[in-house]
Amino acid sequence: MQNLMNVTKVTLPNNETIDSQQLLVMVNETRKEYGEPPIRNNVFIDRIKDELEGETYKIFVGQKNGADIEIIEMALKQALRVAARESKSVRRSLIDKLEQQSKPKSQAELNLAYAIAQVEQERRLKTIEHQVEQVSEEIEHIKQGTIPAGFQGYSYLKTKYGLSDAKCRQLVMAWNVPYKKVPHVPPGGQITQMSVVDEAAFRSALDNMMLESEKRGSQWYHPKMGRFSVTA
């Protein structure tokens, strides 16, 4: 059985594999630099098994501080995925530590540093791709129309009911007609906020206003609206 009591420096055994204790030393040394608590071996083993579930790796027994401990030997490509579960700072420092060592580095160390960097880059790219997809879907949704059912914009209300844009807005405020703002993309333009109004409530308010209004020459008058014209 291995005696791991005095492990102080990590030396990867070959170009293809690394064991959990060697990787744990690297991780805990880096965690300490960033004020993060160390990981116990049993917790680290559970993390490895979770990450590598369904994959092939070797398990053997070692000894540390007089007690038997479980050790996992894994491929570098598996180890890099385990290491990539650390915080961003720890991951980056692990890479820097391997890249900036003054002593010659083994090919395995170079492979592990490269692999961790690749995983981190892949995760960043996936995050960016996901964000781009979300924005694209939102823009496409806006282009297809995001006006809630039963609501219409002021340009529509103006055309259909014959009031000017300003008087449509005045009517909405004076009769507390429900309205809301929704994102809108005009042809070739940028996303803006568009006001839309509950059409049924607007029509009801307009009918009430006309019943209460009086004709004054070619225009109409209502105390809440002042003079206005309606082009039917």
Supply the DSSP string of 49-73, one letter for each residue. Answer: HHHTTTS--EEEEEEETTEEEEEEE
How far apart, in whole angstroms, are the C-alpha atoms of residue 161 and residue 153?
12
The pLDDT of residue 12 is 41
Residue 125, pLDDT > 80, answer no
Reduced 3-state DSSP string for 99-136: HCCCCCCCHHHHHHHHHHHHHHHHHHHHHHHHHHHHHH
pTM assigned to the model: 0.39
Max mean pLDDT among 100-109, 146-155, 200-209, 210-219 falls in 200-209
| 181: DSSP letter | E
Tell me which amino acid residue 183 is. P
Residue 31, pLDDT > 60, answer yes
Residue 153, pLDDT > 80, answer yes
